[in-house]
Structure formats: C-alpha cells, structure tokens
Amino acid sequence: MAFGASVCFVQQIEAGTPTENYFPLFGVDNSNAKIAESLTLSPIDFAALEEANVVDSSAEISEQTKLKNFFNERAARWEKESKIHSSPGSKFLNKDYIGILSKGESIVPLILKRLETSNCDWLWALENIIPEEENPAKGIENFKDAKQAWLEWGSNRYS
C-alpha cells in the first residue's frame, strides 16, 4: 500500500498537479504546498568528490588508523608477554607477533617507530618481512648497532 502511495505521489509531482492528498502522505498539510513545490535537490557530483580525494582519503585514513590500532594493541601485549620468556621460540611464535608479521611490509613503519623507543627484539620481525638483500643489519652482531642500522634504513626508505 505504501508503494502505491509513493507511485501516486511521484505521478502527481511529474504532472505538476498536487491534489489535497498530495502532502498528507508525509504528514504535511497543503498550506506548505507552495514551499514544498519550490524545493529542488541538487545531484551530488561523485566524480568531483573522488577527484578531490574526499572519498578515498577518508577510507585511507580509516585503514591507516585500523592498522595502527591493530599494531599498537598486539605490540604492547607481545612486549609485555615476551619479557618473561627467554626462549626465542616462545617470543617469536607468539600469536600477536605472528599477527604483526602477517601484515607484511605495510606494518614496517610502525615497527620502526616502536623500535625507536623499545628495546624489545623487533629486529627478527624486520628480518622476516624485508627481503634478505635489503637487510641493513646483515652481519652486525650486537643489538644496539643492528637497531641503529634498521632505524637509519627506515628513515631513508619511509621519509
């Protein structure tokens, strides 16, 4: 019944002949008929919005925020849990660490940022995400120097 009323409403608008049943469908009395008839809707120019990156940038921000939240939650939990383990297997087979690794290279800038202030072993994650031939810490034996090599590499690559 509501669909039929909508069709009738559209037909009346197209014909330009509103009847007294024209506005009560929407709870409006005929005293507002002249105002309602003068209202026009402008179409949205989606092409212009996309061209201005309005649509894409909000989606991109949302994805970056999701990735950052994903990383921060898992990184904090992994750092806390890994402090009590001395076994590399227990540290690196942790579900949160593996979840971070699963994001691939998109997560590397977040790992590097975390590495700036953390002394947790994020180097293994970097070594397993970045191809071996690009590893800036290859052959470096101590943590401090390897950490510095990765941070310098990241600064050059992602800045």
Question: Rounded to 10 degrees, what is the CA torsion of 113, 119, 124, 130?
Answer: 20
Is pLDDT above 50 for 1?
Answer: no
pLDDT of residue 84: 85
Q: What is the pLDDT of residues 127-156, one digit of tens each?
A: 999 999 999 999 999 999 999 999 999 999
* pTM of the model as a whole: 0.61
pLDDT value for 50: 59
pLDDT tens-place string over residues 6-23: 444 444 444 555 545 444
Whether 125 has a pLDDT exceeding 80, the answer reads: yes
Q: How far apart are CA 159 and CA 154, in angstroms?
A: 8
Residue 142 is predicted with a pLDDT of 95
Give me the pLDDT at residue 56, please.
52
Residue 114: the pLDDT is 96
* C-alpha–C-alpha distance, residues 76 and 56, integer Å: 30
Q: What confidence category does residue 51 fall into, taking pLDDT thresholds of 50, 70 and 90? A: low
Tell me what pLDDT residue 103 has.
Answer: 96
pLDDT band at residue 89, thresholds of 50, 70 and 90?
Answer: confident
Closest CA relative to residue 103, chosen from 136, 66, 140: 66
